[in-house]
Amino acid sequence: MWKSKVWNLTLLSTILRRRPTLLSISHFQSNSTSHFPPTISRTSYFDFLGNPNFPGKTFCSESAEKSHVHVRCWSCGNVANGSLFLFCDSCRSIQPLDQSVDYFQIFGLERKYDIGVENLEGKYKDWQKKLHPDLVHSKSEKERGFAAEQSARVIDAYCTLSKPLLRAIYIMRLEGVDVDEEETLSDPELLSEILEIREAVEEAADSQELNQIQSQMQEKLDHWSSSFANAFQCRKFEEALNSIRRMTYYHRVNEEIVKKL
């Protein structure tokens, strides 16, 4: 399900988003009060496929500098308080996509792996109530474009953060560590374990057996999820990557089981 060849995906989606991109560029040319460099709009939304792709470390540090610059609303010129600026509180206009705002910031969370997933849905709905394209039907085409991109990004953010594995991969990428999900398995111990489990899944006689394997997988996932959390906190990225690898394989087994159930 996850693809590593980001450049491919980027390519197709860049072509697809041609129109909104053109739109936002024309906006930047016509509106000199805007403080957004056009490059931000050109890097518009390309994290689909549950593939959290984003400009990376350099861009993030840029955003830290940028937070000193006052960001102005493109519509009413109001200066935003705080760095998070998806939506203008003053005139309720949706702002152009700012890739430097990461998923954790969108949800008002500290950038750490252990987050309370239960509160995500509420915040997600709050954002959608402000950003969803359905609600800006009567606004300008420009703002409808912003709404589509912002809303899609909030959906991605929600999906990514609410799933432990995707969240782990995402937070690693925020640290500049790329996770190759398509790499071939080199650890012989893990390989034989996985093959064994797969065989068990294939030979499972009934749904009860499958459920049993599934709960075993869930236990393993929970275990490796917490070891990821530890490794990540201690910035032991090699160990963290190992945990992600484990989680990826157990997750795939779960997918197989769901298919069979």
Q: Which is nearer to other proteins, 14 or 63 (CB)?
A: 14
Q: Is 148 in the site for other proteins (CB under 8 A)?
A: yes
Q: Is 68 in the site for other proteins (CB under 8 A)?
A: no
DSSP string covering the chain: ---S-HHHHHHHHHHHTHHHHHHHHHHHHH-TT----HHHHHT-----TT------HHHHHHHHHHTTSPPB-TTT-PBPSSS--SB-TTT-PBPPP-TTS-HHHHTT--S-S---GGGHHHHHHHHHHHH-GGGGTTS-HHHHHHHHHHHHHHHHHHHHHHSHHHHHHHHHHHTT----TTPPP--HHHHHHHHHHHHHHHH--SHHHHHHHHHHHHHHHHHHHHHHHHHHHTT-HHHHHHHHHHHHHHHHHHHHHHHH-
Residue from 81, 122, 211, 235 that binds other proteins (CB under 8 A)?
122
- Which of these segments, 74-82, 149-157, 215-223, 233-241, binds other proteins (CB under 8 A)? 149-157
Q: Is 215 in the site for other proteins (CB under 8 A)?
A: no
Q: Is 64 in the site for other proteins (CB under 8 A)?
A: no
Interface with other proteins by CB under 8 A: which residues? 3, 5, 7-9, 11-13, 15-16, 22, 25-26, 29-30, 48-49, 121-122, 125-126, 128-129, 132-139, 141, 144, 147-148, 151-152, 155, 159, 182, 184-185, 191, 194-195, 198, 252
